[in-house]
């Protein structure tokens, strides 16, 4: 079991009259190699769920085991190491550094991992070739379309071959055709064995995953395997 949440709470303002239970006793298991969509409307808790699953935040109460490790017992440095090596993040707004070239953006997390210059360049070039941007390595994000910027973000996420890809509304800023290309790529990664966790408010996007977990008011209200016509 890759991911195991048991009775997880994320509470803001605990004990106050204004207390907010963004996650309210959530239990969830995700196996290696699954493609799971976590879907819900604004305020459902899906962004908090992503932050907890991605080790960007820790539960207030409950247990989160990631590959057998209790996340709540880790130091900030250890959490950072997990984010760098085990999880590749893809965000709606790309989160690229405008002053860096495409190649430098993809290399950046590899620098944090301590990968030497020759190896990280090779890894970054391979990732950019895979997303069809090998000819744009010297460009800056401002010189590229939204779809191209998202492909740079995908290359950055996959360059170190992390076992988990976490995609937060990855098609939200894209036109429908480009969004379909991004979803196709996520599905291809999943076919190759990568665990993909997709966060979305869109039921149509969630329908591209093999499993759909629906959140409302910080609770899981539905969890089902679904038939998928893969792109």
Over residues 37-57, the pLDDT tens digits come to: 999 999 999 999 999 999 999
Over residues 133-182, the pLDDT tens digits come to: 999 999 999 999 999 999 999 999 999 999 999 999 999 888 888 899 99
Element (H, E) at 49: helix 46-53
Torsion of CA 55, 221, 210, 154, to 10 degrees: -30
Report the pLDDT value the prediction gives residue 231, as an integer from 0 to 100: 53
pLDDT band, very low/low/confident/very high, at 227 (cuts 50, 70, 90):
confident
Alpha carbon separation from 158 to 54, 65, 86, 175 (Å, rounded): 15, 23, 10, 23
Over residues 96-111, the pLDDT tens digits come to: 999 999 999 999 999 9
Quote the pTM value. Answer: 0.92
pLDDT band, very low/low/confident/very high, at 190 (cuts 50, 70, 90):
very high
Q: CB-based burial of residue 128 (10 Å sphere; 0-12 exposed, 13-18 middle, 19+ buried)?
A: buried
Over residues 47-99, the pLDDT tens digits come to: 999 999 999 999 999 999 999 999 999 999 999 999 988 999 999 889 999 99
Task: Kindly tell me the number of DSSP H helices and DSSP E strands found in the chain.
Answer: 7, 10
Q: Which fold has domain 34-58+75-225?
A: Rossmann fold (3.40.50)
Report the pLDDT value the prediction gives residue 98, as an integer from 0 to 100: 95
Report the pLDDT value the prediction gives residue 59, as an integer from 0 to 100: 95
Report the pLDDT value the prediction gives residue 201, as an integer from 0 to 100: 94
Report the pLDDT value the prediction gives residue 173, as an integer from 0 to 100: 85
């Amino acid at each position: 079991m890759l991911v195991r949440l048991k009775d997880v709470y994320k509470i803001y303002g605990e004990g106050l009259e204004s207390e907010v239970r963004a996650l309210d006793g959530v239990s969830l298991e995700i196996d290696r190699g699954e493609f799971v969509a976590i879907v819900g409307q604004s305020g459902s808790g899906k962004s908090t769920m992503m932050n907890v699953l991605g080790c960007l935040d820790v539960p207030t109460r409950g247990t989160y085991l990631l590959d057998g490790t209790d996340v709540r017992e880790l130091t900030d440095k250890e959490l950072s190491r997990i984010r760098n090596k085990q999880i590749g993040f893809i965000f709606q707004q790309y989160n690229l550094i405008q002053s860096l070239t495409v190649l430098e953006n993809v290399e950046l997390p590899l620098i944090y991992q301590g990968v030497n210059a020759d190896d990280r360049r090779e890894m970054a070039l391979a990732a950019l070739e895979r997303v069809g941007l090998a000819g744009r390595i010297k460009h800056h994000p401002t010189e590229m379309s939204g779809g191209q910027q998202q492909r740079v973000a995908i290359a950055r996420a996959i360059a170190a071959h992390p076992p988990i890809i976490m995609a937060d509304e990855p098609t939200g800023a894209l036109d429908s055709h480009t969004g379909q290309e991004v979803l196709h790529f996520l599905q291809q990664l999943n076919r190759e064995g990568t665990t993909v966790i997709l966060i979305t408010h869109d039921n149509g996007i969630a329908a591209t995953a093999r499993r759909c977990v629906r959140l409302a008011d910080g609770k899981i209200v539905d969890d089902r395997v679904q038939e998928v016509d893969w792109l």
